[in-house]
Amino acid sequence: MKALLIRDIRLAVRAGGGFGLGLAFFLIVIVMVPFAVGADTGLLSKIAPGVLWIGALLACLLSLDRLLALDFEDGTLDLLATAPLPLEAALSVKALAHWITTGLPLVIAAPVLGVLMNLPTQGYVWLVLSLLLGTPALSVIGTFGAALTVGIKRGGLLLSLLVLPLYLPTLIFGAEAAQRGAAGADASTPMLLLAGISAATIALMPFASAAVLKVNLR
Protein backbone atom coordinates (compact mmCIF):
# COMPACT_ATOMS: atom_id res chain seq x y z
CA MET A 1 0.00 0.00 0.00
CA LYS A 2 2.85 2.36 0.77
CA ALA A 3 4.43 1.72 -2.64
CA LEU A 4 1.08 2.32 -4.35
CA LEU A 5 0.64 5.59 -2.45
CA ILE A 6 4.11 6.85 -3.42
CA ARG A 7 3.54 5.82 -7.05
CA ASP A 8 0.21 7.65 -7.27
CA ILE A 9 1.66 10.81 -5.72
CA ARG A 10 4.51 10.79 -8.24
CA LEU A 11 2.13 10.19 -11.13
CA ALA A 12 -0.17 13.00 -10.01
CA VAL A 13 2.71 15.46 -9.91
CA ARG A 14 4.31 14.33 -13.18
CA ALA A 15 1.03 14.19 -15.10
CA GLY A 16 0.26 17.82 -14.30
CA GLY A 17 -2.93 16.99 -12.39
CA GLY A 18 -1.45 17.47 -8.93
CA PHE A 19 -1.21 20.33 -6.52
CA GLY A 20 0.13 22.85 -9.07
CA LEU A 21 -2.95 22.81 -11.27
CA GLY A 22 -5.36 22.79 -8.33
CA LEU A 23 -3.61 25.67 -6.58
CA ALA A 24 -3.49 27.72 -9.78
CA PHE A 25 -7.22 27.23 -10.34
CA PHE A 26 -7.96 28.04 -6.69
CA LEU A 27 -5.95 31.25 -6.97
CA ILE A 28 -7.69 32.29 -10.19
CA VAL A 29 -11.15 31.80 -8.69
CA ILE A 30 -10.33 33.83 -5.57
CA VAL A 31 -8.64 36.63 -7.53
CA MET A 32 -11.57 36.96 -9.93
CA VAL A 33 -14.25 37.30 -7.25
CA PRO A 34 -13.29 40.83 -6.07
CA PHE A 35 -13.33 41.99 -9.70
CA ALA A 36 -16.83 40.57 -10.11
CA VAL A 37 -18.46 41.79 -6.88
CA GLY A 38 -16.49 45.00 -6.37
CA ALA A 39 -14.05 46.25 -3.77
CA ASP A 40 -16.55 46.44 -0.91
CA THR A 41 -14.52 44.95 1.96
CA GLY A 42 -17.64 44.33 4.05
CA LEU A 43 -19.24 42.29 1.28
CA LEU A 44 -16.02 40.37 0.63
CA SER A 45 -15.71 39.53 4.34
CA LYS A 46 -19.26 38.22 4.37
CA ILE A 47 -18.94 35.97 1.33
CA ALA A 48 -15.30 34.92 1.86
CA PRO A 49 -15.93 31.54 3.61
CA GLY A 50 -18.41 30.39 0.96
CA VAL A 51 -16.26 31.54 -1.95
CA LEU A 52 -13.15 29.89 -0.54
CA TRP A 53 -15.04 26.64 -0.05
CA ILE A 54 -16.46 26.72 -3.59
CA GLY A 55 -13.00 27.42 -4.97
CA ALA A 56 -11.52 24.48 -3.08
CA LEU A 57 -14.33 22.19 -4.22
CA LEU A 58 -13.91 23.11 -7.89
CA ALA A 59 -10.13 22.75 -7.61
CA CYS A 60 -10.59 19.21 -6.26
CA LEU A 61 -13.03 18.45 -9.05
CA LEU A 62 -10.54 19.59 -11.69
CA SER A 63 -8.21 16.60 -11.36
CA LEU A 64 -10.73 13.83 -10.81
CA ASP A 65 -11.00 12.74 -14.45
CA ARG A 66 -7.32 11.68 -14.37
CA LEU A 67 -7.56 9.84 -11.05
CA LEU A 68 -8.17 6.41 -12.61
CA ALA A 69 -7.95 7.16 -16.34
CA LEU A 70 -4.17 6.67 -16.65
CA ASP A 71 -4.29 3.38 -14.76
CA PHE A 72 -7.16 2.18 -16.94
CA GLU A 73 -5.28 3.00 -20.14
CA ASP A 74 -2.06 1.15 -19.19
CA GLY A 75 -3.82 -1.87 -17.63
CA THR A 76 -2.85 -1.12 -14.01
CA LEU A 77 -6.46 -1.29 -12.86
CA ASP A 78 -6.78 -4.83 -14.18
CA LEU A 79 -3.72 -5.83 -12.17
CA LEU A 80 -5.07 -4.15 -9.05
CA ALA A 81 -8.38 -5.97 -9.46
CA THR A 82 -6.58 -9.35 -9.41
CA ALA A 83 -3.93 -8.44 -6.80
CA PRO A 84 -3.97 -9.82 -3.23
CA LEU A 85 -4.62 -6.29 -1.98
CA PRO A 86 -8.41 -5.72 -1.77
CA LEU A 87 -9.66 -3.32 -4.42
CA GLU A 88 -11.36 -1.27 -1.71
CA ALA A 89 -7.98 -0.70 -0.05
CA ALA A 90 -6.34 0.20 -3.37
CA LEU A 91 -9.02 2.79 -4.12
CA SER A 92 -8.70 4.19 -0.61
CA VAL A 93 -4.98 4.65 -1.22
CA LYS A 94 -5.73 6.43 -4.50
CA ALA A 95 -8.17 8.73 -2.73
CA LEU A 96 -5.51 9.46 -0.10
CA ALA A 97 -2.97 10.26 -2.82
CA HIS A 98 -5.47 12.62 -4.45
CA TRP A 99 -6.06 14.37 -1.13
CA ILE A 100 -2.33 14.73 -0.45
CA THR A 101 -1.62 16.23 -3.89
CA THR A 102 -4.80 18.30 -4.21
CA GLY A 103 -6.79 18.71 -1.00
CA LEU A 104 -3.94 19.26 1.46
CA PRO A 105 -2.25 22.03 -0.59
CA LEU A 106 -5.62 23.79 -0.82
CA VAL A 107 -6.00 23.62 2.98
CA ILE A 108 -2.54 25.16 3.39
CA ALA A 109 -3.15 27.87 0.76
CA ALA A 110 -6.64 28.84 1.97
CA PRO A 111 -5.50 31.22 4.77
CA VAL A 112 -3.20 33.05 2.35
CA LEU A 113 -5.98 33.47 -0.19
CA GLY A 114 -8.33 34.45 2.62
CA VAL A 115 -6.35 37.69 2.90
CA LEU A 116 -7.45 38.58 -0.65
CA MET A 117 -11.07 38.10 0.43
CA ASN A 118 -10.66 40.16 3.62
CA LEU A 119 -11.59 37.14 5.74
CA PRO A 120 -12.08 38.15 9.40
CA THR A 121 -9.20 37.20 11.70
CA GLN A 122 -11.28 34.80 13.80
CA GLY A 123 -12.37 32.96 10.66
CA TYR A 124 -8.98 31.59 9.62
CA VAL A 125 -8.86 28.77 12.16
CA TRP A 126 -12.40 27.66 11.37
CA LEU A 127 -11.77 27.82 7.64
CA VAL A 128 -8.69 25.62 7.90
CA LEU A 129 -10.41 23.15 10.25
CA SER A 130 -13.49 22.88 8.04
CA LEU A 131 -11.36 22.29 4.92
CA LEU A 132 -9.20 19.80 6.79
CA LEU A 133 -12.30 17.84 7.78
CA GLY A 134 -14.19 18.21 4.50
CA THR A 135 -11.63 17.82 1.70
CA PRO A 136 -10.97 14.09 2.43
CA ALA A 137 -14.66 13.45 1.72
CA LEU A 138 -14.31 15.31 -1.59
CA SER A 139 -11.44 13.04 -2.65
CA VAL A 140 -13.23 9.83 -1.60
CA ILE A 141 -16.47 10.83 -3.34
CA GLY A 142 -14.45 11.86 -6.38
CA THR A 143 -12.85 8.41 -6.48
CA PHE A 144 -16.34 6.90 -6.62
CA GLY A 145 -17.23 9.17 -9.54
CA ALA A 146 -13.98 8.30 -11.31
CA ALA A 147 -14.67 4.57 -10.86
CA LEU A 148 -18.18 5.04 -12.21
CA THR A 149 -17.04 6.78 -15.39
CA VAL A 150 -13.72 5.01 -16.03
CA GLY A 151 -13.35 3.87 -19.63
CA ILE A 152 -15.93 6.34 -20.95
CA LYS A 153 -14.58 8.63 -23.65
CA ARG A 154 -14.63 12.27 -22.57
CA GLY A 155 -16.20 11.27 -19.28
CA GLY A 156 -14.99 14.40 -17.51
CA LEU A 157 -18.26 16.28 -17.95
CA LEU A 158 -20.31 13.25 -16.89
CA LEU A 159 -18.05 12.82 -13.87
CA SER A 160 -18.68 16.42 -12.82
CA LEU A 161 -22.44 16.04 -13.20
CA LEU A 162 -22.43 12.87 -11.10
CA VAL A 163 -20.13 14.10 -8.34
CA LEU A 164 -21.34 17.66 -7.80
CA PRO A 165 -24.70 16.66 -6.22
CA LEU A 166 -22.82 14.31 -3.86
CA TYR A 167 -20.54 17.19 -2.87
CA LEU A 168 -23.41 19.39 -1.72
CA PRO A 169 -23.72 18.19 1.92
CA THR A 170 -19.97 18.64 2.44
CA LEU A 171 -20.09 22.09 0.85
CA ILE A 172 -23.13 23.19 2.86
CA PHE A 173 -21.81 22.22 6.29
CA GLY A 174 -18.20 23.17 5.52
CA ALA A 175 -19.13 26.65 4.34
CA GLU A 176 -21.59 27.06 7.23
CA ALA A 177 -18.92 26.14 9.79
CA ALA A 178 -16.45 28.60 8.26
CA GLN A 179 -19.15 31.28 8.01
CA ARG A 180 -20.16 30.92 11.66
CA GLY A 181 -16.55 30.90 12.79
CA ALA A 182 -15.82 34.06 10.82
CA ALA A 183 -18.85 35.75 12.40
CA GLY A 184 -17.75 34.74 15.90
CA ALA A 185 -20.72 32.41 16.40
CA ASP A 186 -20.75 28.81 17.60
CA ALA A 187 -19.64 26.56 14.74
CA SER A 188 -19.51 23.26 16.63
CA THR A 189 -22.75 21.84 15.17
CA PRO A 190 -21.85 22.17 11.45
CA MET A 191 -18.32 21.03 12.24
CA LEU A 192 -19.61 17.85 13.90
CA LEU A 193 -21.96 17.20 10.99
CA LEU A 194 -19.09 17.77 8.55
CA ALA A 195 -16.91 15.34 10.50
CA GLY A 196 -19.74 12.78 10.47
CA ILE A 197 -20.17 13.10 6.71
CA SER A 198 -16.44 12.66 6.13
CA ALA A 199 -16.22 9.67 8.48
CA ALA A 200 -19.21 7.93 6.88
CA THR A 201 -17.91 8.65 3.38
CA ILE A 202 -14.43 7.33 4.13
CA ALA A 203 -15.87 4.19 5.75
CA LEU A 204 -18.49 3.28 3.13
CA MET A 205 -17.64 4.88 -0.22
CA PRO A 206 -14.57 2.70 -1.06
CA PHE A 207 -16.82 -0.38 -1.12
CA ALA A 208 -19.21 1.33 -3.55
CA SER A 209 -16.26 2.48 -5.67
CA ALA A 210 -14.82 -1.03 -5.80
CA ALA A 211 -18.19 -2.51 -6.75
CA VAL A 212 -18.78 -0.18 -9.71
CA LEU A 213 -15.16 -0.49 -10.83
CA LYS A 214 -15.41 -4.28 -10.94
CA VAL A 215 -18.48 -3.96 -13.15
CA ASN A 216 -16.69 -1.55 -15.50
CA LEU A 217 -13.63 -3.81 -15.77
CA ARG A 218 -15.62 -6.86 -16.86
The model's pLDDT over 50-75, given as tens digits with 9 standing for 90+, comes to: 999 999 999 988 888 778 877 787 77
Q: What whole-number distance in Å separates Cα of residue 170 and Cα of residue 190?
A: 10
Question: What is the domain extent for residue 32?
Answer: 2-217
Q: What whole-number distance in Å separates Cα of residue 98 and Cα of residue 157?
A: 19
Q: What whole-number distance in Å separates Cα of residue 105 and Cα of residue 140?
A: 16
Residue 41: predicted pLDDT: 82
**Alpha-carbon torsion 75, 76, 81, 83, what sign?**
positive
The model's pLDDT over 124-158, given as tens digits with 9 standing for 90+, comes to: 999 999 999 999 999 999 999 988 888 777 667 78
Q: What whole-number distance in Å separates Cα of residue 90 and Cα of residue 98?
A: 12
Residue 189: predicted pLDDT: 94
Which of 78, 79, 135, 77 lies closest to 109, judged by CA?
A: 135
The model's pLDDT over 7-25, given as tens digits with 9 standing for 90+, comes to: 777 877 776 555 578 888 8
The domain tally of the chain equals 1
Q: What whole-number distance in Å separates Cα of residue 210 and Cα of residue 114?
A: 37
Residue, of 82 and 110, whose pLDDT is higher: 110
Residue 15: predicted pLDDT: 60
Q: Is 79 exposed, middle or buried (0-12, 13-18, 19+ CB in 10 A)?
A: exposed
